[in-house]
Amino acid sequence: VNLALTGFWSCLSSLNQSAVESGLSLASDPAGIVNFLDMINNLKGDSGRGYYMQMVIGTPGQTLNILVDTGSSNFAVAAAEHPYITHFYNRALSSTYQSSGRGVAVKYTQGEWEGELGTDRITIPQGPSGTITINIAAILKSEGFFLPGINWQGILGLAYPLLARPDPSVEPFFNSVVGQTGIPDVFSLQMCGAGVSASTTADPAGGSLIMGGVEPTLYRGSVWYTPVLEEWYYQVEVLKLEVGAQNLNLDCKEYNSDKAIVDSGTTLLRLPGNVFSAVVEAIMQTSLIEDFSAGFFEGTKLACWMRGESPWRLFPKISIYLRATNTSQSFRITILPQLYVQPITDIDGTLDCFRFGISPSANALVIGATVMEGFYVIFDRAQKRVGFAVSTCAGKWVQGCVD
């Protein structure tokens, strides 16, 4: 059975029963452990520069912006000066910081850092109430990690202990929050940057990280869940891809041969080489553009139109089919061109320029922020599954609902 997250406007009347039936904590429940309404809009940022949340670290508190990353498991903050950041966490000024004396180094798809492990107390102004003691990596040296134009000074790895460095004994942030506050082992993400120009720095789009459950006002229709195959990354199973209505007809091993993961810290939809080539070929066959520059698809060139001319009608929608928790079923998340053909402000103001939001990957298939911006994504660790529902802030950028 294929159930589809498609057709936003026709499905607004769908009942959001899934979250209620799952027994997750809901904001509308006055007896809930935590008030999710306080967490709405606790993120700022966009897919290009990342989504970040304000946190207060140490005693007395030092306020920093921390990038939200579901593709890693260390909580790490700048602890020394760097040309691309405005301020850093000064351990010497915190009476509650304790060094473990252990070094730590982490490499990401882009960028790396090294530093020293310790613990300190944190509070989250728009998060669960109370003070939490967490493992914290003080970043002392980095390369390609802090970038020009970012407004964050650290990273919050929300994946499982297996990815923690130097080893899984370093308890990740969310495990500590659940253990110390008693909130359910669930968090959910709404990222609202779709359609926002990647060079607009004045007013970042924002979003919400709901810790402890699901906030019903952040999605429409039903939630559809896919199992987490292995608890390290949020690894899921992709069954097939369609471009327009055309099945790529690749063996499903092509999609999952290394791993398929849901990763808010990756900007684009990243596809293994063969899958990427097949998607580009299908887009070129089904799009209304003739002789389109290969540089656009390779990520080396922008495509520009006269201001006010929208290119989105020229491109097909893309559907990713995921295995449902009832393993004989699947469902699809459908991405409109508004999500994967992304606006970039042009210098001279006469053109609207766009970049391709899909890139080739040497290994994993990564459902990154480009895709996640269309959906409210629920990381239900308690029941070992990831849920997708249509995001309320993506109405004009994505079609999605369960038929």
Phi-psi region of 249 (alpha: psi -120 to 50; beta: other; left: phi over 0): left
374-to-112, 266, 270, 370, 384 alpha-carbon distances in Å: 29, 15, 16, 8, 22
C-alpha span between 68 and 79 (Å, rounded): 18
Quickly count: other Cβ atoms within 10 Å of residue 312's Cβ: 16
Residue type, position 268, single letter:
L
3-state secondary structure of 89: coil
Tokens at 329, concatenated = 């079923």
The 3-class SS string of 142-189 reads EECCCCCCCCCCEEEECCCHHHCCCCCCCCCHHHHHHHHHCCCCEEEE
Catalytic position from the list 46, 120, 263, 380: 263
C-alpha span between 224 and 158 (Å, rounded): 21
Contact 94, 62 (CB under 8 A): yes
Contact 242, 319 (CB under 8 A): yes
Nearest to 302 by CA among 360, 356, 347, 370: 356
Query: Is 69 one of the annotated active-site residues of the chain?
Result: yes
Helix (H) or strand (E) holding 21: helix 17-21
Query: Is 346 one of the annotated active-site residues of the chain?
Result: no
| Upper half-sphere CA count for residue 399 (Cβ side, 13 Å) | 14
Catalytic position from the list 69, 120, 352, 380: 69
Helix (H) or strand (E) holding 18: helix 17-21
Residues 6+ apart with CB under 8 A from 391: 190, 191, 192, 218, 219, 373, 374, 375, 376, 398, 400
Residues 6+ apart with CB under 8 A from 152: 45, 50, 52, 64, 65, 66, 67
List active site positions.
69, 263
